[in-house]
């Protein structure tokens, strides 16, 4: 008897459980790690380096050992691991944690950060599954919104959005050029297409020495054609802005960051992770303080998050693992096909290509009952870098190869859509937020509850909430047979996130015969294996 037949015998209620439609509600994540330099323990668990050691020699340069630029440039996997450990670090009052942004008092219509919660770790909001930059936070951004997303594959999202933006702006410039060099009053119309996604049309018309640009036909993106991939409404351009803002708004920790500061003042800056922040074309949010000697929150502490920490955090999130793929049964494969047939893939586009991948590695995580000795998942890490001997006597420079990369199973179009009243949200000002970014579905099988607001308890419910631009696909789903509906839900449950420290990999395959298995020897995605000095652990 196959799986579908068993479910039919169990009845409709069991269908929801067997196919992942009922949420296993996850409380707010608490995946913080203590600093074992101040909390020693018999099993040696915790962050291996003190905060001062993580700060190191400051930002420095590629010739300054211990600095963030030296480590990113010459020992990049150490930087990734260090950023991850900072992400999980349980910050203390002595390090500047708190007070709540603005002490929670002010005009929340103007500054939404006043509604942020006070956390002592990034992992408080992004901590599930265990130890991952996952989901689970209960963060107030609007009166009805309460669901912090996972951060798997965040760097890929930043790169895709940035490349789409560049494509759209080239098309705009082409329209302006043709209008300027064509006959007077001629309207040039260009379709805004990038990576197989259409963002409407843009028009340019010459009037004397000037060219008027008409953006009324632009769809799914602001008139400036900048795709903002972070926050559900599409509010932030870069991971670096996100990091600096979250440290301040959620944790009361002020970052010293010359990159966002200079970009906010109209300069063009390339961050250590290769992201270009151009203050001449985009509005960049600056850091809460300009100088390391400032104390903007008045807690008596300065330089709470030095630039080197921001560098490591950004590099970590650029390279953080993308979501994995669960068991691929015939029913799941049929569900993927039916998902496309009823039109869901028109917005939830499965695969998108990065033309210039700035990461130094990729990790592919798949269902594998043979090698996945603890959770039936196995990860394969592959480097994507070039080593350069610069003759300095230091370890080689390790630069990203910048080759194209096909991002599979992301399921998004990076556009904002109006999905009807069931997805609308109130703003504190009393207005209604109607458009939100298409949620990338990778990881959806393990990140309940659902919807950008966390108000849908299972996958079936969130699908049936769709209306507006997705009404036809929603109705097609509602009209499916029992088996077809079940197959789609089963397919979606194969799009998973996972705990990296509990997932066997080619960097640490684990050992079923280890003493105390599976508490020990279950394997992990062990980045220290790629350090210049694997014995110097983070």
Place of tokens 């197989």: 196
Contact, 173 vs 202, CB < 8 A? no
Helices within 186-273 (DSSP H only): 239-251, 258-264
Q: How much is the pLDDT for 9?
A: 28
Specify the pairing of strand 361-367 against strand 377-383.
antiparallel
Neighbours of 181 (CB within 10 A): 10
DSSP SS3 for 444: helix
> pLDDT tens track of the chain, all 538 residues?
333 333 332 233 333 333 333 333 333 334 578 899 999 998 888 999 999 999 999 999 999 999 999 999 999 999 999 999 999 999 998 999 876 656 667 777 677 666 666 788 888 887 667 655 555 555 556 666 667 789 999 999 999 999 999 999 999 999 999 999 999 889 999 999 999 999 999 999 998 889 999 999 999 999 999 999 998 889 999 999 999 999 998 888 999 999 999 999 999 999 999 999 999 999 999 999 999 999 998 899 999 999 999 999 999 999 999 999 999 999 999 999 999 999 999 999 999 999 999 999 999 999 999 999 999 999 999 999 999 999 999 999 999 999 999 999 999 999 999 999 999 998 888 899 999 999 999 999 998 889 988 889 999 999 999 999 999 999 999 999 999 999 999 999 999 999 999 999 999 999 999 999 999 999 999 999 999 999 999 9
CA distances, 230 to each of 220, 290, 339, 424, 466 (Å) = 14, 24, 25, 18, 21
Q: How much is the pLDDT for 155?
A: 98
Domains of the chain: 51-128+238-319 (no CATH), 322-500 (1.10.760)
Specify the pairing of strand 197-207 against strand 210-214.
antiparallel
CA 93 – CA 208 distance, rounded (Å): 62
Place of tokens 């006070």: 118
Identify which of 202, 234, 205 has the alpha carbon closest to the alpha carbon of residue 218.
202
The pTM of this model reads 0.91
Q: How far apart are the first and last CA of the chain?
A: 50
Q: How much is the pLDDT for 133?
A: 55
CA 87 – CA 122 distance, rounded (Å): 5
DSSP-derived letter for residue 432 is: E
CA 248 – CA 120 distance, rounded (Å): 11
């Amino acid at each position: 008897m196959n799986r579908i037949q068993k479910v039919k015998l169990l009845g409709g209620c069991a269908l929801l459980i067997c196919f992942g439609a009922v949420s296993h509600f996850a409380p707010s994540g608490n995946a913080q790690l203590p600093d074992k330099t101040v909390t020693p323990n018999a099993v040696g668990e915790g962050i291996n380096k003190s905060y001062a050691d993580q700060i190191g020699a400051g930002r420095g340069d590629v010739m300054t050992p211990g600095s963030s630029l030296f480590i990113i440039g010459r020992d990049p996997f150490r930087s990734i691991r260090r950023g991850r450990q900072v992400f999980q670090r349980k910050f203390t009052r002595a390090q500047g944690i708190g007070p709540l942004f603005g002490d929670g008092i002010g005009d929340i219509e103007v500054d939404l950060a006043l509604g942020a919660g006070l956390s002592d770790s990034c992992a408080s909001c992004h901590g599930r599954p265990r130890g991952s930059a996952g989901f689970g936070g209960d963060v107030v951004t609007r009166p009805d919104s309460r669901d912090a997303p996972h951060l798997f594959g965040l760097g890929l999202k930043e790169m895709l959005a940035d490349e789409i933006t560049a494509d759209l702006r080239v098309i705009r410039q082409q329209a302006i050029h043709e209008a300027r060099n064509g006959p007077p009053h001629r309207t040039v119309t260009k379709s805004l297409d990038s990576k197989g996604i259409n963002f409407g049309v843009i028009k340019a018309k010459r009037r004397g020495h000037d060219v008027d640009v008409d953006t009324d036909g632009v769809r799914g993106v602001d008139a400036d054609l900048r795709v903002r991939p972070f926050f559900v409404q599409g509010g932030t351009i870069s991971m670096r802005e996100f990091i600096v803002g979250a440290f301040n708004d959620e944790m009361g920790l002020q970052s010293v960051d010359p990159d966002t500061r200079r970009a906010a003042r109209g300069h063009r800056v390339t961050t250590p992770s290769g992201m270009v922040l151009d203050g001449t074309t985009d509005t960049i949010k600056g850091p809460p303080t300009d100088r390391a000697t400032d104390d903007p929150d008045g807690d008596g502490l300065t330089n709470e998050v030095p630039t080197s920490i921001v560098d490591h955090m950004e590099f970590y999130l650029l390279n953080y693992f993308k979501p994995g793929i669960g068991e691929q049964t015939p029913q799941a494969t049929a569900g993927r096909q039916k998902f496309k047939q009823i039109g869901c893939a028109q917005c939830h586009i499965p695969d998108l290509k990065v033309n210039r991948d700035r990461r130094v590695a990729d990790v592919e995580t798949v269902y594998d009952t043979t090698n996945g000795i603890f959770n039936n998942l196995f990860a394969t890490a592959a480097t994507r870098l070039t080593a350069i001997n610069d003759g300095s006597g230091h370890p080689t420079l390790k630069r990203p190869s910048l080759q194209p990369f096909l991002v599979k199973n992301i399921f998004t179009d990076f556009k904002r859509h109006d999905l009807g009243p069931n997805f609308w949200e109130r703003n504190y000002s009393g207005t209604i937020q109607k458009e939100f970014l298409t949620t990338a579905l990778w990881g959806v099988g393990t990140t309940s509850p659902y919807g950008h607001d966390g108000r849908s308890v299972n996958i079936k419910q969130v699908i049936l909430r769709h209306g507006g631009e997705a009404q036809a696909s929603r109705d097609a789903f509602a009209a499916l047979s029992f088996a077809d509906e079940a197959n789609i839900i089963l397919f979606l449950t194969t799009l998973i996130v996972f705990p990296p420290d509990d997932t066997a990999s080619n960097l640490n395959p684990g050992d079923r015969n280890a003493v105390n298995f599976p508490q020990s020897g279950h394997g992990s995605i062990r980045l220290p294996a790629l350090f210049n000095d694997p014995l110097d652990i983070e």
